[in-house]
Amino acid sequence: MAVRIVLAEDNYLVREGVRTLVETEPDLEVVGVCEDYDTLIAAVESQTPDVVVTDIRMPPTGTDEGIRAAEVLRESHPDMGVVVLSQYSEPAYALAFLEGGSKGRAYLLKERVSDIGQLAGAIREVAAGGSVIDPEVVDALVAARAKPADSPLHRLTSREGEILSEMAQGKNNAAVAASLVLSERAVEKHINSIFSKLALSQEPDVHRRVKAVLLFLSVQET
């Protein structure tokens, strides 16, 4: 009997590419295709697949919909496997995804999708209750654990960390907003939160940006 799959990905080309690759495997069957969080949850309820393959970032917020969907499914469908596809090997997302356990869970980087052997293998593994974690993600988790535990950067959310990383590349607020597909107002709010968490609230704005970036770069080199 074929493994029944619901695929969730907001990028049309990626979505159709993954579906085409998966459907080349005789023992895998795509029974639903979605482009956002709500349609994913609806498809799961109507199709009851064996495995969900989902992007992390989808509408409506474009942040962590795939992770949240996995959490919901762990409660509502504990035996359903979930394969998360991520563009980045972000420790925060991986830890959140695996917080409830690794059974029936796979975390792969999107660059692996072109290798149908790896993707199909991960789908089959989680369908059987196993787990697969991308080696690059494992490396990132190990590196994150090696960083100083008392670093104030640990107070930042994953989104704030992304914004600080963009700032470290010399980008202004507009460029950061464009890169992360956010409004400039949202970027300003996140940056103010970063300054507050790094205890830089009382510094002049230019100095705050420089000090925040220097702190970020110093930790990256540890």
Query: What pLDDT, in 10s, does the model give residues 28-52?
Result: 999 999 999 999 999 999 999 999 9
148-180 pLDDT, tens digit each: 556 778 888 889 989 998 888 878 899 999 999
Question: What separation in angstroms does the CA of 51 have from each of 28, 80, 124, 126, 177?
Answer: 10, 6, 9, 7, 34
Q: Is the pLDDT score of 188 beyond 70?
A: yes
Domain assignments of the chain as residue spans, ordered by start: 3-141, 152-220
State the average pLDDT over residues 59-78.
92
In the chain, count of helices (H) and strands (E)?
Answer: 10, 6
- What is the architecture of the domain spanning 152-220? Orthogonal Bundle (1.10)
Contact 9, 55 (CB under 8 A): yes
Mean per-residue pLDDT, 10-27: 93
The reply to whether 152-220 shares the fold of 3-141 is no
Checking if the pLDDT of 84 tops 50, the result is yes
State which of 4-8, 164-168, 174-178, 205-209 shows the largest mean pLDDT. 4-8
CATH 3.40.50.2300 fits 3-141, yes or no: yes
Q: What is residue 25's predicted lDDT score, i.e. its pLDDT?
A: 95
Contact call for residues 66 and 54 (beta carbons, < 8 A):
yes
**pLDDT value of position 200:** 81
Tens-place pLDDT, residues 108-142: 998 888 888 999 999 999 999 999 988 887 777 66
